[in-house]
A = this chain, B = another copy of it.
Amino acid sequence: MKISILGVAATKFGELWSVSPRVLAKEAMNNALKQSGLKAGDIDALFVGNMLSEILGNQANLGSLLVEELGVQIPAFRIEGACASGGLALHNAINSIKSGQYKTVLVLGIEKMTDHSQDEITNALMAAGSDEERMAGATFPGVYALMAQAYMKQYKVSEEELASVSVKNHYHGTLNPKAQFQFSISVADVMKSAKIADPLKLLDCSPISDGAAAVVITGENIIKKVRKPIQIVASEVGTDTLSLCDRKSFTSLLAVIDASTKAYKKAGLRPSDIDVAEIHDCFSISEAIATEDLGFSKKGEGAKDIAKGKRTLFKGDIICNPSGGLKACGHPVGATGIKQIVEITEQLRGVAGKRQVENARIGLTHNVGGSGAVAAIHILRI
């Protein structure tokens, strides 16, 4: 059975002090429905990807809470897998359609993070960390900094080369009206920004964000009112140990390699077939490693290729993070996996405006939870 995307929508990402999670969810869901040419009554189930509503909002049962905003009573589920919650929600939604249980479903990713103190957020995010990491006092920048240290030493990569990831994504952000940061930065700006966890500096790190994104998918062959249906041709998930210290490698995420290998096989595609990808760049090091794990760059050359412009809009070959990525578009954690689908769908439809990747026909999304304990890979094509 083919899975088609009927409609997508994302809210503006950023520090959205004036709106509640309900308002964010409603905006994304209603706009995705509107674009699909469907009404809430046409939807069979709602899948919600969210990580932190329980810790930050003391709100469980988010599926039932948010389905109320649709004004219909349909089965609703919350799927949680840290920052990969959005991708995992989509994976389960796709399976539910392929199973024959539901025909057309709505998948929402949502996170409201900025109404809390820095300490609360740091502690909440470490809920995805391992016991060892937490007992050692590590934060996520600290954990990814260890990967960066190992990567830079092993492959002789400079801090400047790593910084080029953020520079690229901020440039892309200037072309995305929904991005949290719509200004460019230079390598020098990254280098002189405050050290967070050596070698990662403030501008190597994605921000704390609010936002929601939604997608309507169906297995039905009759697709109405959609000019260019986009198909999801692979949806695969991989896992690895929660703790970095239990891993075989610090410079590769096995969950990503596992999921993407399965996804390429399922789609009958090779890495070089991908025109555009949305990458989980929670830190600059993440995107460098991801482009290698996904087969876009040779091992050790991911950061160098980005520094050379190979992933940059209008000059690269496989364009990564045209949305601005987590770094510039923002990272409301549960929303990220679905926002990636929204971006790739707009790219493949050719409606991505100033950040349109030319002749984009095949796209990939790469959504990671924790420091790589889980990864969801989706491949889309027109």
Contact = CB atoms under 8 A, between A and B. Distances in A.
Interface of A: 45, 51-52, 54-55, 58-65, 67-68, 73-82, 88, 91-92, 94-101, 123-124, 126-128, 130, 235-242, 246, 254-255, 258, 369-370, 373-374
Contact of A63 (B51, B68, B239): B239
Contacts of A94: 99
A51 to B, nearest CB: 6
A127 B80 CA distance: 16
Contacts of A81: 61, 63-64, 76-78
A377 B379 CA distance: 34
Given A68-B241, A73-B240, A98-B99, A58 B55 contact: yes
Contacts of A51: 60
What's the number of copies of this chain in the assembled complex? Answer: 2
A96 B127 CA distance: 27
Contacts of A65: 130, 242, 373
A61 B374 CA distance: 8
30 contacts: A55-B58, A58-B124, A58-B126, A60-B82, A60-B127, A61-B369, A62-B80, A64-B81, A64-B82, A64-B240, A64-B242, A64-B369, A64-B370, A65-B130, A73-B238, A73-B254, A73-B258, A75-B236, A75-B237, A75-B374, A76-B81, A77-B79, A77-B81, A77-B92, A78-B79, A78-B81, A92-B92, A96-B99, A98-B99, A99-B99
Contacts of A369: 61, 64
Closest 6 pairs (CB-CB, A-B): A98-B99, A75-B237, A64-B373, A60-B127, A61-B82, A95-B99
A258 to B, nearest CB: 7
Given A92-B96, A370-B61, A73 B255 contact: yes
A128 to B, nearest CB: 4
Contact of A239 (B58, B67, B96, B235): B67
Nearest to A56: B54
Nearest to A89: B77
A373 B246 CA distance: 40
Given A61-B369, A73-B258, A96-B99, 15 more contacts: A45-B237, A51-B60, A54-B54, A54-B55, A61-B128, A63-B239, A65-B373, A68-B241, A68-B246, A75-B236, A79-B92, A80-B80, A98-B98, A98-B99, A98-B101
Residue of A63, A94, A255 most packed against chain B (CB within 10 A): A63
A101 B97 CA distance: 11
A81 B81 CA distance: 14
B82 A88 contact: no
Given A59-B127, A61-B373, A369-B61, A239 B98 contact: no
Nearest to A92: B92
B75 A238 contact: yes
Contacts of A45: 237
Nearest to A78: B80
Contacts of A242: 61, 64-65, 68
Given A75-B239, A77-B88, A79-B78, A60 B258 contact: no
A51 B55 CA distance: 12
Nearest to A236: B75
Contacts of A126: 58
